[in-house]
Each structure stands twice: as structure tokens, then as C-alpha cells.
Amino acid sequence: MTKDFNSADIAAFRNVWVFCEQRGGELMPTDFELISEGRKLADELGVELCGILLGDDVDGIAKELGGYGADKVYVFNSPLLKNYTTDAYTKVICDAVAEFKPEVFLIGASNIGRDLAPRCAARLHTGLCADCTHLDVALDGYIEFLKSGSSMDLEGVKWDSPLFDVHKNLKMTRPAFGGHLMATIVCPRFRPAMATVRPGVMQKKPFDQAKADALQIIHPEFELAEADLKTKVTEVVKSAKKMADLIGAEYIVAVGGGIASNVEKGIALAEELAAELGGVVGASRPVIDAGWMSADHQIGQTGKTVRPKVYIALGISGAIQHKAGMQDSELIIAVNKNEAAPIFEIADYGICGDLFEVAPQLIAEIKAAKAAK
Ligand code: FAD
């Protein structure tokens, strides 16, 4: 990184960047979500949206990023970048940031992003807000967001405070105190303002072929030698176990603590219902904590964020930390034997009853509807 890089020289920074993660030469779904969100921020700032893509011979996959709104992608190809290593990726990214000086830098909160982002932020001497669920530059949009989603008294807020608008600060909102309140964080004195965003939180825009064709691919010169890497990836071994594919699923049947009286039967019913719908099974945290299902099934603040077409919650109370991961589902159907369960406050259809009785009826109804076609 250049010695004269100064993260406090705010005026020198321009453009929005998104780290585009690839694994085995394939882009991750989060890349498209962040590019879509980055487009909104770049438009609010009136600047360019740029992807930064590291790998070995990855030019071929860069074009797709244009289709979701990137103006440019900076591509760094090297056999040393084929697989992620903290040292190599941090060096190349920090050198690039020092050279091109983006004002906003978004990174997906995948395992790789969670490792990479704090390392880069520390080296660049700037601020990082982790696990953001909402991002704004424009003050109008931010006020709208507060009005629609908070109980805050907005009357006395001093909107002309430098924190809100000077240098068009990125307003990074994330759950705090166990999800009981939302905190908005700004990074007013250093650049780039860095944020990580969990997979599934931001919405992917429709793909536009004309924009993909117009994408500019840039190959900056860079320096990276074997000696820069303290670790060496000798082999990538994929987990034999298939992970629950919740992100992007259209139908999710999630089970909660309500299956406790007969765990095996509860999970079997959820699996059967999900199979009838062509969907997947998810779970609330107690199900994971009790070891009834593996951690990749967890939905919520410390699990995955999902927005399927239909979310069926079986025996889930609807705690705030669970809702944080599923409340943007298009249609929510809740089955709970307690009519006061908070899940009913956000459900489009609520069934007050025993899941062990209701789920078989739902399965039978779906089967009958299919047979009648
Ligand atoms: P329970 O609280 O046990 O509720 C079970 C529900 O099932 C009840 O509403 C009950 O009425 C109903 N029920 C019981 N039997 C039946 C039956 N036979 N038929 C129908 N209904 C029945 N939770 C998450 O889910 N995801 C997270 O990511 C997450 N992150 C967290 C992070 C932090 C920092 C903290 C503090 C907590 C987090 N939690 C998370 C835990 C969260 O607070 C709740 O404890 C959890 O969501 C409760 O799960 P549940 O509703 O499935 O279980």
C-alpha cells in the first residue's frame, strides 16, 4: 500500500465499490445483491459503481456483474488469487483502494467477507460496520426508512447535523443489543466507509443484458509474490454434507421449539410439507441449539436472512431475533397453538392449532390440489 495513503483525506475519495466474491470461478449470489444495492448508493452519490474481482482467469464471469448495475469491474488475475487467502486478498485489495480511493466499500458477510473486511479496514485505517441490514446515502430515503420501520420520535432530530449529510455520509443500519434496537452508524472522518451485508438481506435487481454488454473491465497493474502469502491452500475439500439451501429458496417450512414434544415427527412433517411445495426446511435457534438440526438451517439474526415467496412457520413464537431473518418473506403462514404468539403479528395467514395436527392437513390439501390439476 502506498505510504502516502491518507484515509482522512475525504475529498480524495470517489465511487462505490463492491467486493465480488468468487469460489471455484463462480460468483456468489450475494455479489448480485450487493451490486444491486451499490447501484442505489452510487446513484444517490452521483458516482460510478465498481466491482472488484480477484481470482485466476476470472474475466469471463465479470460481465454478469454489469447486468446488475456495475459500471466497471477491476479484475485482478493471478494463480496466487485462485483460492482465497487473507494475506493475498488483503494486500491486493488495500493496494487497489489506496490507488483508486473508493468512498464506499461493500463486502458480503460470508465467511470470507467476515475475515477480509476487518483486516482491510484496519490496514486502511477506516471504519467498518458489520452485518448491515439497511444502507442509505440520501437523507430523504433514510428519513423514509425511519418513518416506516421505527417507533422513534423524529420531531426533535437535528437533520442538519454533519453526521447525517456532510460529505454525503453512508448511513449504515444494523441490529444492536440482541436485535432489540436498530443502530445507524456513520463513518464521517475516514474513507472508504466500509460495510458488510449478510447474504439474502439486499434484493437483487432484474438482470439487464444491455448493461452487461456495456460493462468496462479493467486490469490494473498490481504486485503480489509468493513471499506475500503466509498461508498456502494445498487443497479445497468440499463438505460431503449438503448444506440447507435457504438463500434463494422460494418455499421454506421452518420448525421451532414447538416440535419439542416429538422432534422426529416434527422434522419429518416439515420435510414432507417442504417436499410437496418444492421447498426447503429451516429452523429457529432452539432447534439448532438442541442439536435437532444442523446450524446451516438456522434463520434469524444470527442465522440466515431469507425472503421466500412462502414462509411456513411451524411452532415458532416469532421472537424479534427470528423475525429479523424472515419478516420480508412475501407470504407468511404461521401455525402456533398460542393465539398470542408474536408470529401472528406478521403472519398473512395464522392458524391457531397444534402443528402435529395442522401440518398433516396442509400436506393432504396440497396433495389433493395437485391431484385435481
Ligand atoms: P420457543 O420460544 O420455544 O417457542 C415455541 C413456540 O411454539 C411457542 O410460541 C409455542 O406456543 C409454540 N408451540 C409449542 N408447541 C406447539 C405445537 N404442538 N403446535 C404449535 N405450536 C406450538 N432465534 C432464532 O430463531 N434465530 C436467530 O438467529 C436468533 N438469534 C438470536 C441472537 C441473540 C443475540 C439472542 C439473544 C437470541 C437469538 N435467538 C434467535 C433466540 C430467540 O430470542 C428466541 O429464543 C427463539 O427464536 C425462539 O424460538 P422458537 O420460537 O422456535 O421457540
pLDDT, tens digit, 9 for 90 and up, residues 288-298: 999 999 999 99
**Fold that domain 2-228 belongs to in CATH:** Rossmann fold (3.40.50)
Kindly tell me if the per-residue pLDDT of 2 is higher than 70.
no
Where do you find CATH 3.40.50.1220 in the chain? 251-372
**Mean of the per-residue pLDDT values for the chain?**
93
Ligand 1 atom closest to the Cα of residue 356 is 18
Q: Which range (114-118, 216-220, 253-257, 295-299) has the least confidence?
A: 295-299
Q: What is the mean pLDDT of residues 233-261?
A: 87
Ligand 1 atom closest to the Cα of residue 335 is 20
CA 182–ligand 1 middle distance (angstroms)? 20
With cut-offs at 50, 70 and 90, classify the pLDDT of residue 105: very high
Angle at CA of residue 196, ends 195 and 200, nearest 5°: 130
Distance between start and end Cα atoms, the chain:
64
CA 258–ligand 1 middle distance (angstroms)? 8
Where do you find CATH 3.40.50.620 in the chain? 2-228
Residues in the chain: 373
Kindly tell me if the per-residue pLDDT of 164 is higher than 90.
no
Cβ atoms of 133 and 93 within 8 Å: the answer is no
**Cβ contacts of 84 within 8 Å, gap of 6 or more:** 21, 23, 112, 116, 233
CA 295–ligand 1 middle distance (angstroms)? 15
CA 33–ligand 1 middle distance (angstroms)? 28
Separation between Cα atoms, residue 270 and residue 162, nearest integer Å: 51
pTM: 0.78
Cβ atoms of 277 and 251 within 8 Å: the answer is yes
CA 317–ligand 1 middle distance (angstroms)? 5
Ligand 1 atom closest to the Cα of residue 255 is 52
Q: Which range (32-41, 186-195, 229-238) has the least confidence?
A: 229-238
Nearest residue (CA) to ligand 1, atom 9: 317
Cβ atoms of 256 and 316 within 8 Å: the answer is yes
CA 112–ligand 1 middle distance (angstroms)? 29
The sheet carrying 216-218 orders its strands as 128-132, 193-197, 104-108, 16-20, 49-55, 72-77, 216-218
Kindly tell me if the per-residue pLDDT of 179 is higher than 80.
no
Burial 10-42 (b: 16+ CB within 10 A, else e): beebebbbbbbbbeeeebbebbbbbbbbbbbbb
Distances 170 to 42, 148, 167, 330 between C-alpha atoms, Å: 11, 19, 9, 28
Nearest residue (CA) to ligand 1, atom 13: 258
Cβ atoms of 201 and 37 within 8 Å: the answer is no
> What is the predicted pLDDT for the residue at 24?
92
Burial 65-99 (b: 16+ CB within 10 A, else e): bbbbbbbbbbbbbeebbbbbbeebbbbbbbbbbbe
Model pLDDT for residues 286-339, shown as the tens digit of each residue: 999 999 999 999 999 889 999 999 999 999 999 999 998 999 999 999 999 999
Nearest residue (CA) to ligand 1, atom 33: 178
Burial 213-236 (b: 16+ CB within 10 A, else e): eebebeeeebebeeeebeeeeeee
CA 30–ligand 1 middle distance (angstroms)? 27
> What is the predicted pLDDT for the residue at 131?
92
Cβ atoms of 274 and 241 within 8 Å: the answer is no
Model pLDDT for residues 25-65, shown as the tens digit of each residue: 999 999 999 999 999 999 999 999 999 999 999 999 999 99
Domain 251-372 has CATH 1.20.120.450: no
Which residues line the pocket of ligand 1, CB cutoff 6 A? Answer: 178, 256-258, 284-286, 298-303, 315-317, 319, 321-322, 325, 335-338, 341, 354-356
322: region left, alpha or beta (phi > 0 left; psi from -120 to 50 alpha): alpha
Ligand 1 atom closest to the Cα of residue 260 is 15
CA 316–ligand 1 middle distance (angstroms)? 5
Nearest residue (CA) to ligand 1, atom 25: 284
